[in-house]
Amino acid sequence: MSASDTEIDRQRRHHAVPIGGIVLAALFGLLMAAAVLFAAFDGDEEEVPQALPQAAEAERL
């Protein structure tokens, strides 16, 4: 079955705002994913401190 009234220009105008919202949401999602990846792999890794020398001596006693 086909639609009885197919006014393509009118339908295009009615769908423009929702499609624009979908595009903006997709761009926002990509931006957030890039931010998470950047934060996870930014290279500022703090070294995990090894056991302190005083703690090692205290364990021997």
Instruction: Judge whether residue 55 has pLDDT over 60.
Output: no
Cβ-in-10-Å burial (0-12, 13-18, 19+) of 4 comes to exposed
How far is it, in rounded angstroms, from Cα 2 to Cα 6?
A: 9
Q: For residue 34, what are the CA distances in angstroms to 19, 45, 49, 57?
A: 23, 19, 30, 46
pLDDT of residue 2: 72
pLDDT tens for 14-29 read 999 999 999 999 999 9
pLDDT digits (tens, 9 = 90+) for 29-39: 999 999 999 98
Higher pLDDT, 44 or 6: 6
Question: What is the per-residue pLDDT for 58?
Answer: 59
